């Protein structure tokens, strides 16, 4: 009891606690290797790492999409593997854009809201609000397969926010989004963050993480290689920009 109490408290105060998570896929690929991570509630957090480092696998475990061992991943204190209520707390914009091509943009959002237990009117109201915010109102009746790549990505992010999650997980949200829309998106994510949302973002644009994130972690071969405030990481590993620290950490 005495031993576990402080730990449980810590789990509840954090948006995400990953406590020694390993994942080996059926073909024997080890994607995560006893990974440890803690994201404070309300933090804008960036996860950076090379292709194949394990970012999407980790996110999949958080969102309940990748089978993982119980008692290793906690979202606001709830076990992400065994407690279905944890799903309501997480909004995920996946790396791979997969949308039902027979649904128009508005219905993608409304169906998602209904799936997550929202009433019809509430789902419609929220969908209209998000279509507006993500500059998709003019395309609301367009089927998802007729949207441009960047529009689809914005729709995915809007969908992740539909049910008002407390932790939003964005797996490379700005890949393929044009510069103007990217800045719009940054502005919107910042606003959500100031309203109390916790954001976990992966990106290969290191300057994006440097601009947006209060803390970042470098992931390499399924483990966290370094974690901290961007400016601290720069002074710890040398160089001038976060990119220098990143390259230095991954070199070793
Ligand atoms: N379904 C799967 N079956 C087998 N191996 C997988 C599966 N999904 C991912 N992997 C492997 O797990 C490792 C981690 O992949 P993951 O997708 O988590 O990396 P990532 O950090 O998201 O990379 P990227 O930056 O390219 O998106 C890789 O070696 C990958 O090939
Ligand atoms: Mg990935």
86 CA to centre of ligand 1 in angstroms: 24
Higher pLDDT, 244 or 97: 244
Instruction: Name the nearest CA neighbour of 229 among 206, 202, 251, 210.
Output: 210
Domains of the chain: 5-96+163-251 (3.40.50.300)
85 CA to centre of ligand 2 in angstroms: 25
Instruction: Name the nearest CA neighbour of 134 among 154, 153, 150.
Output: 154
1 CA to centre of ligand 1 in angstroms: 38
**Which residue, by CA, sits nearest to atom 16 of ligand 1?**
54
**Which residue, by CA, sits nearest to atom 15 of ligand 1?**
52
87 CA to centre of ligand 2 in angstroms: 20
One DSSP character per residue, 69-110 reads: -TTSEEETTEETTT-TTHHHHEEEE-SS----TTSBHHHHHH
Residue 10 has pLDDT above 80, yes or no: no
pLDDT (tens digit, 9 = 90+) per residue, 40-58?
A: 999 999 999 999 999 999 9
Residue 4 has pLDDT above 80, yes or no: no
**H-state helical runs in the chain:** 5-13, 55-62, 86-89, 105-115, 120-133, 149-161, 179-194, 206-212, 230-237, 242-251
pLDDT (tens digit, 9 = 90+) per residue, 177-215?
A: 889 889 988 988 998 899 899 999 999 999 999 999 999
Mean pLDDT value across residues 94-111: 94
Question: Given pLDDT bands bounded at 50, 70 and 90, which one contains residue 1?
Answer: very low
pLDDT, residue 6, reads 57
Higher pLDDT, 4 or 130: 130
Residue 140 vs residues 43, 47, 96, 163, 248: alpha-carbon distances, Å: 32, 32, 21, 18, 45
Is any atom of ligand 1 closer than 6 Å to the C-beta of 25?
Answer: yes
User: Phi and psi at residue 42, in whole multiples of 5°?
Assistant: 85, 0
Instruction: Name the nearest CA neighbour of 110 among 95, 93, 129.
Output: 129
**Which residue, by CA, sits nearest to atom 17 of ligand 1?**
56
136 CB-near residues (< 8 Å, 6+ apart): 105, 130, 151, 154, 155, 158
Residue 143 has pLDDT above 80, yes or no: yes
Q: Which of 49, 54, 61, 222 to mutate to test the pocket of ligand 1 (most atoms within 8 A of CB)?
A: 54
The Cα 155–Cα 191 span in angstroms is: 18
Looking at every residue in the chain, the average pLDDT score rounds to 93
DSSP-assigned beta bridge partners for residue 45? 200, 215
End-to-end CA distance of the chain: 40
């Amino acid at each position: 009891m005495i031993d576990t109490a402080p730990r449980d408290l810590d789990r509840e105060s954090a948006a995400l606690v990953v406590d020694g998570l390993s994942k080996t896929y059926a073909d024997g690929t080890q994607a995560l290797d006893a990974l440890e991570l803690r994201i404070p509630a309300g933090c804008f957090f960036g996860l950076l790492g090379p292709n194949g480092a394990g970012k999407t696998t980790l996110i999949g475990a958080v969102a309940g999409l990748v089978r993982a061992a119980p008692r290793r991943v906690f979202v606001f204190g709830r076990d992400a593997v065994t407690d279905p209520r944890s799903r309501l707390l997480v909004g995920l914009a996946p790396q791979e854009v997969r949308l039902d091509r027979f649904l128009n943009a508005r219905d993608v959002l409304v169906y998602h809201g209904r799936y997550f237990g929202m009433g019809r009117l509430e789902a419609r109201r929220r969908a209209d609000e998000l279509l507006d915010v993500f500059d998709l109102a003019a395309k609301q009746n367009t089927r998802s397969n007729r949207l441009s790549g960047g529009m689809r990505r914005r729709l995915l992010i809007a969908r992740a926010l539909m049910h008002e999650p407390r932790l939003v997980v964005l797996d490379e949200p700005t890949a393929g989004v044009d510069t103007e829309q990217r800045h719009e998106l940054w502005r919107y994510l910042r606003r959500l963050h100031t309203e109390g949302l916790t954001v976990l973002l992966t990106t290969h644009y290191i300057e994006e993480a440097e601009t947006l994130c209060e803390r970042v972690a470098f992931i390499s071969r399924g483990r966290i290689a370094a974690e901290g405030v961007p400016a601290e990481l720069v002074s710890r590993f040398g160089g001038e920009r976060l990119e220098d620290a990143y390259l230095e950490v991954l070199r070793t």
